[in-house]
Amino acid sequence: MDFKYFKWLREPKEYCIEHNQIVVTTQPNTDLWQRTYYHFRNDNAPVFQMETDKQYFSFVVKTDFAESHHRFDQCGIVMYLDSENWLKASVEYENDKFQHLGSVVTNNGYSDWATTEICVDIKSMWYRLSRRASDYCIECSEDGVRFKQMRICHMEKGSGTIQFGIYACSPEDSSFRAVFSEMSTGECQWQAHDGQKPDAEQ
């Protein structure tokens, strides 16, 4: 992956880029969230993205969060279009017993959060983001080989040129080092649906 094609949105105070690895030290009180349930809006997490107009592709990255230790510490993939339209996937530290593996999709200023609990001993996770026009698939893997579907979603502003990449943040009073490696883009690994045919156009 050639990082010269990436740009920072809210460049972090402390980070290091070398070879195929990026290390980001999160700042306290940084997050991405819009309105739903909590009613607040947080839009200050550092995001490192590249731009593309390719309609079909997959993006893969390995995340290491061995130093996460405080509630909501997180790092993962992101597709940030603007403050009210984006998606992300990550593992969020919860306590000394479990973490949340989950994803957030935000359309027109309202976020959702789909999660499942995983063991706190898991300290790395691979993600694969795949695009088919304005529809997206997020997958995760513990070994970088076998990926499991997390969610499929539609982005209302996800057609045409988009930006995608990585993010890391600490929503509460915390800081940790997030490590990203093995980043790559390639042919879309999310195959076309071969089941029920689309409804006929009216």
Q: pLDDT for 94-142, tens place per residue?
A: 999 999 999 999 999 999 999 999 999 999 999 999 999 999 999 999 9
Q: pLDDT at position 195, please? A: 84
User: Which residues share a beta bridge with 87?
Assistant: 79, 105
How sure is the predictor about 86, in pLDDT bands with cuts at 50, 70 and 90? very high
Q: Of the candidates 99, 102, 97, which has an alpha carbon nearest to the alpha carbon of residue 113? A: 102
Spatial CB neighbours of 136, under 8 Å, sequence gap ≥ 6: 79, 87, 129, 130, 152, 153, 154, 155, 158
Q: pLDDT for 172-186, tens place per residue?
A: 999 999 999 999 999
Q: pLDDT at position 202, please? A: 47
Q: pLDDT at position 190, please? A: 97
Hey, what domains does the chain have and what are their CATH numbers? 3-186 (2.60.120.200)
> Largest Cα–Cα distance in the chain?
54
Q: Considering the chain, what percentage of its residues have pLDDT values greater than 90?
A: 91
What global pTM score does this model have? 0.95
Stretch (H or E) spanning 77? strand 74-82
Q: How many CA atoms lie within 13 A of 107 on its CB side?
A: 9
Q: pLDDT at position 201, please? A: 58
Q: pLDDT for 54-75, tens place per residue?
A: 999 999 999 999 999 999 999 9
Averaged pLDDT, 151-165: 97
Q: Average model confidence (pLDDT) for the chain?
A: 96
Averaged pLDDT, 29-46: 95
